[in-house]
Structure 1
Amino acid sequence: MTEWLLSIEGTETGRLLAMGLALLAAFSHAVFGALQKGRFDPWLTRGAIDANYALMAAPFALFVVPWPEPHMWPIFAGMMVIHIGYKLLQAMAYERGAYTVVYPVVRGTGPLITVIAAGIVFGEHFSALQWLGVLALSGGIFGLAAFNLTRVNIDPARLRAAIALAFATGIFVAIYTTYDAYGIRATANPFTFLAWFFFLDGLIFPLLALRRFRAMSNRPNLGALLKRGFIGGLIAYISFGSVMMATRLDKVGEAAVLRETSTVIAALIGWLVLKETVGWTRGLLMAGIALGAIIVEFGG
């Protein structure tokens, strides 16, 4: 499997597989975001998710995949710092604002900065048509956030804090996407990076969540929380693992843009599964996001 993946890097087969992986990441990320913002405190949910995927990854990291090369340990250390910052900001944003407002702001900020960063770090360059697609996608996502703002009733100061934190989280999304792409390309075996990523990334946040859990006077049901964490851990492998592998096989910027169609998928899930009303405005914005992604993928 590893040899085959390495053999298709930079080929048309690799490009098509990367596109499929990025779209798979988009679907799973929409589900992942809803899980963290769901019925439990977002800090506790994230802690439960991280604990589960660290435990799942441990045997693979320690006993199955080749051990990381010496130069990978500083890369993993930087990765942990970046992802802790991202998760802290995301939890604080979800704590203060509605999911339908916070999530689109985070996802709209990420691709704009990632495309610029990928150009600097990896020498990737988008055509003018592709840049038009990026602007259409991010504009549509921000439009969804603005539309959803009219549907929430929240204290203005709290709302401003939530949006500011969402923008900061989006910047960290761009940073970790670019950095993780660098990391997964720096090791000979991509599965070594993935196994150690999930093992190391899941070690810190459960400790923060446990401290928060112990301080609560009204603690949630631990069994239900851990069950959600287990499901979230499985989804995390699909969501984060897919997009990281896509950035190894093909362009980082294109993978990042395709992943952000998760906002459309989240809205479609709400419409088809939860029977929410989409309406013409949201429908047109979703179409703009999808069109932008198509332009980026095929406009090069």
Structure 2
Amino acid sequence: MELWLFLAILVAALLHAGWNALVKVGLDRFLSVSLIAMAAGLVALPALMVVPLPAPAAWPWLIASMLLHIGYNVFLVQAYRSGDLGQVYPIARGAAPLLVAVVSAIALDELPSPLATAGIGVLVLGVGLMSLRGGRRTQRLEGHAVAAALTTAAFIAGYTLSDGIGARVSGSPSGYIAWLFVANGIVMFILLLATRGVQVLPTLAGHWRVGLIGGAMSLGAYAIAIKAMTLAPIALVAALRETSVLFAALIGCLWLKEPLSRWRALAALTIVTGVVMAKVG
């Protein structure tokens, strides 16, 4: 992987961690996710006038991605209801790259070099370690919280693979990205109205500035990742994206004044080791 692409993926991970920190605006998780998704769709909307329409072969993958994103949001909210954010999120995000790597190797015959593959494993281990002491609770996670987190990971892996393949066959990754975000924004708006009703819209309107900033960051983060998946193995890009967990921990420490325990420092070091191995490999 070329250095510029490697650094771009890390920037995407930082943006991803950044918008996740921004959504702590006093809304519940579902409203926060809906706000960001709809705002990202608005930010992407003007691009539809200048980007090419994706090729017909890409549309089944784009539609599949939209459905998988809905499942991701639903199960992520369920996981947060059952366990702490600092534990559930790393489990969901950490298991996804392993699923992507397995499916990529079997279905796409796409496997990074042995050192890069080992780096993916070390990186995922670090993400998993982050979850062990990431929450406020001292007891172990409830079984249904783990199940919801792992189901969320399956949806993450699903839309990652769908978008990677879809962008590759689209003939225009930029067109695929723009249509994906606009469509996702529309779908989340419909889902929001169906589940919460129109009375929730004034509440969201009060957070429109944070929504637009977070939406732009979300768009930038995933757009970089999708473009990267057209230039590098999907499994490698998926694993490097999960350094967002490391950036989230740093944001929590520096901005939110959360303590950085020795355990989380060890997890961070493990993640960095995996990143270096993946880059060198």
Give the TM-score, by structure 1 length. Answer: 0.85
The one-letter code matched in structure 2 to 1:182 is: I
Query: Structure 1 regions of 5+ residues with no counterpart?
Result: 1-11
Give the counterpart letter for 1:238 in structure 2: G
2:26 is the counterpart of 1:44: no
* Aligned pairs, number: 281
Deviations along 1:167-216, one digit per CA (max 9) or x if unpaired, are: 11112111111111101100222111111111111111122223443398
Provide the residue aligned with 1:193 in structure 2.
176
Report the alpha carbon displacement of residue 239 of structure 1 after superposing the two structures with TM: 1.4
Aligned with 2:193 (options 194, 200, 210):
210
Runs of 4+ off more than 4 Å? none
CA distance in 1, matches of 2:181, 2:204: 23
* Cα shift readout 1:55-83 (whole Å, capped 9, x = no counterpart): 2222322x211222233332322222122
Aligned to 1:259: 241
Q: Does 1:143 align with 2:111?
A: no
Amino acid at match of 1:241: A
Note closer, same or farther for the CA distance 1:287–1:30 as it changes in structure 2 (3 Å cut).
same
C-alpha spacing 1:205/1:35, structure 2 compared with 1 (3 Å): same
Aligned-pair CA distance for 1:246: 0.9
In 1: Cα distance, 2:28 partner to 2:232 partner: 37
Query: What's 1:66 paired with?
Result: 52
Which SS does the other structure have where 2:218 is aligned? helix
| 1:58/1:78 CA distance change after superposition, 3 Å | same
Query: Structure 2 counterpart of 1:112, which letter?
Result: L
Residues 53 and 233 of structure 1 are in contact (CA less than 8 Å); yes or no, is this contact kept in structure 2?
A: yes
Equivalent position of 2:40 in the other structure: 53
Cα deviation digits, residues 135-160 of structure 1 (max 9, x gap): 221122111111124x3268x7x833
1:200 maps to amino acid = A
Counterparts of 2:110 and 2:187 in 1: how far apart (Å)?
33
- Picking from 152, 155, 161, the partner of 2:137 is 152
Which of these residues, 146, 151, 161, is aligned with residue 144 of structure 2?
A: 161
Identity percentage of aligned residues: 32
| Counterparts of 2:58 and 2:118, CA distance in 1 | 36
Distance 2:59 2:111 in 1: 30
One-letter code of the match for 2:57?
H
SS at match of 2:192: helix
**Per-residue displacement from partner, 1:5-64 (whole Å, max 9, x unpaired)?**
xxxxxxx6xx33321221011111112333446521111112222222222222322x21
Gaps of 5+ in 2: none
Shift of 1:121: 3.5
Q: Distance in 2 between matches of 1:69 and 1:60?
A: 17
Q: State the SS of the aligned residue for 2:256.
A: coil
Residue 162 of structure 2 corresponds to 179
Q: Residue 64 and residue 228 in structure 1: after superposition, are their counterparts in 2 closer, same or farther (change >3 A)?
A: same
Per the alignment, in what secondary structure is the counterpart of residue 249 of structure 1? coil
Q: What is residue 7 of structure 1 aligned with on the other side?
A: none
Name the aligned partner's letter for residue 295 of structure 1: M
TM-superposed CA distance for 1:219, in Å, is 9.0
Query: So what's the TM-score if we normalise by structure 2?
Result: 0.90
Tell me which residue corresponds to 2:84: 98
SS at match of 1:126: coil
**Distance in structure 1 (CA, Å) of the matches to 2:54 and 2:60:** 11
Once residues 215 and 82 of structure 2 are traced to their aligned partners in structure 1, the CA distance between those partners, rounded to angstroms, is 24
Counterpart residue identity of residue 192, structure 2 = A
Q: 2:227 pairs with 228, 245, 250, which one?
A: 245
Report SS of the residue matched to 1:241.
Answer: helix
8 Å CA contact 2:53, 2:176 repeated in 1 = no
> In the alignment, does 2:13 pair up with 1:26?
yes
CA shift at 1:224, angstroms?
Answer: 2.9
Contact map agreement 1:105 1:166 (CA 8 A) in 2: yes
